[in-house]
Structure 1
Amino acid sequence: MKNILVITASIFGQNGQSSQLVSKTLEKLTRQHPDAQVHIRDLAKNPVPHLDAERFGAFLATPADATAAQSDVQAFSDELIAELKQADAVLLGVPMYNFGVPSVLKAYFDHIARAGITFRYTENGPEGLLEDKPVYVLAARGGIYAGTPNDSQTPFLRSFLGFLGLTSVEFIYAEGLNMGDDHKSQSLDKADSVIDALTA
């Protein structure tokens, strides 16, 4: 494993529970792969612009016809996609906000979903163009949602990542973090055990 891409999205930065779970997972992986290069993208600290008509239009423009502003949008998207392509593993910290993923993470997704670059449509349906690699989703939640109809994150993330060709996705949950200290401690211990097992 030569390159590890770390993506966090907690509004609390590195103090967020999802970010701390990412840090624990990263520590395990770098201990096994001490020569691995780590690239960290903190979407809360350096947010990706949300998709609007102008940015979407830039994605549709051909390089020959693109304006200078559209070329800048394409170049930024290309940079995000290059990071993802170069990674041998991805650590994705995902807190739950109002039953969904953070808006900054959705904005990031909107910039890496590029027709003809990360996916394409065929007569048999969509096809992901990214080479599969391990993706560890570290999901921190105040309540308990995994396996219930209120867990909108898991199916969305699995579907979106699979759409791009990333199907080797592992979910590590820390749930009930706002349901008392005992529950929080037990949940974090359980998440640590899952991280240990997945990175063994």
Structure 2
Amino acid sequence: MKILQIDSAITAENSVSRKLTSDIVAKLKLANSNAEVTYRDLNQGVPAIDTEWFQAVRLAPTNPTPDQQKLIDVSNAYLKEVQDADVLVIGSPIYNFAIPAQLKNWLDQIARAGLSFRYTEAGPEGLLKGKRAIIAYSAAGTPLGSDLDFASGYLRHMLGFFGITNVEFVAADRLAFDRDAGLARAQDALELLAA
């Protein structure tokens, strides 16, 4: 089993989502002794896509400039980590009712026509099928699945767009109202998680 662990929280050692991703990975490794983990901390910086990215990556020039090649290499590296993984464990704290900007940037980097999805006569088709995604969702005040939650549906949609339809959530939500209860809900979900 190959696990890709993604963290995106800006709160360092105070991060609940980082603790959850570590706990999820530990559970998976305990049940799968041969599991290999690739770790990516998006808080270290994920370039946002822009005009230069579009011209280098999306338009894919035959002879890219050195600067274009750097943009291509970065995007390819993110995508390859996902392609190689059997399980994605993604930490998604909720900031202002949505996912962190760096997590959005990462999704934009791997949204590659012909590589992570393709357009067919029947509509878009994800090309990263057969993978499992476990989202470590943490929020001070945004309940998972509520009308205020613009993150979980988006994550489920984007992963599904890539062909990853086996998506589960381990949620520590409403932490600002009752931290202990929120952490207990996450622990219960973690215990029910199949390894």
TM-score (structure 1 length as normaliser): 0.93
Cα distance in 1, alignment partners of residues 20 and 7 from structure 2 = 10
Aligned to 1:195: 190
Aligned to 1:163: 161
Partner secondary structure for residue 114 of structure 2: coil
Aligned to 2:134: 136
Aligned to 1:23: 22
Task: Render the CA deviation track for 1:6-61: whole Å, top value 9, x for unaligned.
Answer: 000000124300111111111111111122111110111x2111111111221123
C-alpha displacement of 1:171: 1.2
C-alpha displacement of 1:64: 1.6
Correspondence list, 1:77-116, <5 A: 77-116=75-114
Correspondence list, 1:166-177, <5 A: 166-177=164-175
Change (3 A) 1:68 1:89: same
| Amino acid in the other structure paired with 1:195 | L
Cα distance in 2, alignment partners of residues 29 and 157 from structure 1 = 21
- Any conservation in 1 of the 2:142–2:148 contact (CA below 8 Å)? no
C-alpha displacement of 1:63: 4.8
- Any conservation in 2 of the 1:6–1:39 contact (CA below 8 Å)? yes
Q: Segments of 4+ in structure 1 off by > 6 A?
A: none
Cα distance in 1, alignment partners of residues 37 and 145 from structure 2 = 32
- Alignment root-mean-square deviation, CA: 1.3
- Any conservation in 2 of the 1:25–1:199 contact (CA below 8 Å)? no
TM-score (structure 2 length as normaliser): 0.95
Counterpart selection for 1:55 from 43, 53, 56? 53
Percent sequence identity is 38
Cα distance in 2, alignment partners of residues 147 and 74 from structure 1 = 35
Cα distance in 2, alignment partners of residues 55 and 47 from structure 1 = 15
- Greater CA drift, 4-13 or 51-60: 51-60
Cα distance in 2, alignment partners of residues 130 and 147 from structure 1 = 25
Cα distance in 2, alignment partners of residues 73 and 57 from structure 1 = 10
